[in-house]
Structure 1
Amino acid sequence: MAQQRSLLAAVLLFLVALTAAAAEGDAPFVVAHKRVALSRPVPGVERLAVTLDLYNQGSATAYDVSLNDDSWPQEAFELVSGSTSKIVEKLDPGSTASHSFVLETKVQGRFQGSPAVIKYRVPTKAALQEAYSTPVLPFDILADRPPQKKFELAKRLVGKFGPLASVVSFVGAFIYLVASPSKSGAAKGSKKRR
């Protein structure tokens, strides 16, 4: 009798754990990626185009998704267009949402942005769930950059492998000419057979 009770208790505990795991698997999983693109419209002015991409990789819908990116200090950056926060009504499983804004730099120096904060509501839980975006890697603002040499890599590759490429192409063309039958010889051969 005691063995049956312990077996029944073990089975009951297993079923409770299984349903808890199944309920936990049926939840939204929000992943956010933050990226920054630098541009210089005029010398001495640098703009940052910040884009935040949200992905719901879970199996349930996330509701009232609020995105807040307050990692840009006002003494170093000025908001040119857009806003640093956004609210999405719902984010279905497998769907994406994107938010962009543009900042202009005020000071020169090195900056590393912290992750944006994403809060969303899950119908099965009372508390708001929280997720973080990827952080921005350190970058230099208004740094003196050497002029870009756009064709430097191509010049090096042509200088290094150019003669080899030309020899290989000549050998390949020669083999093709020798191995392929000539059209005039094939036409003469067919006339002789008639």
Structure 2
Amino acid sequence: MEKAFRLAILAVLALIFVSSPFANASESPFIVAHKRVALKKINSGIERISVSIDVYNRGSATAYDVTLADDSWAQDVFDSVIGNTSKSWERLDAGSLVSHSFELESNVKTIYYGAPALVTYRVLTKSRLQEAYSTPILPLKILSDTESGKMTEKKLLVNYGSHISALLIVILFMHMVFNPSKQSGNKKRH
């Protein structure tokens, strides 16, 4: 009995000894980056692109020397107007958020497929820089011809679609109540 108890204690101690490095590995930063883009037509030949990138540290430790680089914007298509496409922070504490925004202009009509932004950071327990990528963006239709009729229909559908659906359901219900089926009319009543 005493021997089994000692073996159980040794097994528990060995398990703790083996799993302790894995427990320390979970105490690290976990970087999540979210990239958003908004298009705004300035005039008929120029469109402004507003880019905003939020960088979150969802981990349990601080990330150091955090650098955000979004260099996927082609120089022959885009001109930088406000801000830079890269930004650095000394540290990003656990559970914190930082944001970076910049604006570009384009006078080229194209569909642009942008790449995710790159976030590099340093962890105290590792010598190598860690990398994280932002969420990708949908293809941008720069200076595209919008059909005003379709846009008006979509706006009407968005604004009044739920009202129309509710009205149709009420009308269908009233039709079913006031117009009984033909089979019920054939039944004889005594």
For residues 80-121 of structure 1, the C-alpha deviation after alignment (integer angstroms, 9 at most, x for no partner) is 100000001111111100000001113111111111110011
Name the % identity.
47
1:64 aligns with 2:65: yes
1:14 pairs with 2:18: no
Aligned length: 162
Deviates more, 1:86-95 or 1:10-19: 10-19
Structure-2 separation of matches of 1:155 and 1:86: 43
State the Cα distance separating 1:45 from its structure 2 match: 1.1
Letter in 1 for 2:79: E
What is the CA distance between 1:16 and its match in structure 2?
A: 4.1
**CA–CA separation in structure 1 for the residues paired with 2:15 and 2:164:** 69
How far residue 157 of structure 1 moved from its aligned partner, in angstroms, is: 5.7
Query: Could you tell me how far apart the structure 2 residues matched to 1:13 and 1:141 are?
Result: 61
Structure 2: which amino acid aligns with 1:123? L
Deviation (angstroms), 1:70: 0.3
- Counterpart residue number, 2:95: 94
Runs of at least 5 residues in structure 2 that lack an aligned partner in the other structure: 1-6, 174-190
What's the Cα RMSD here? 2.7
Deviations, residues 104-140 of structure 1 (Å, cap 9, x unaligned): 1131111111111100111111111111111111121
Gaps of 5+ in 1: 1-5, 169-194
Give the TM-score normalised by the residue count of structure 2.
0.75
Q: How much has 1:144 moved relative to structure 2?
A: 0.5
Between structure 1 and structure 2, the one with the greater Rg is 1
Checking the alignment, whether the CA contact within 8 Å between 2:63 and 2:91 is kept in structure 1 is yes
What is the distance in 2 between the residues matched to 1:125 and 1:137? 34
Displacement of 1:67 after TM fit? 0.3
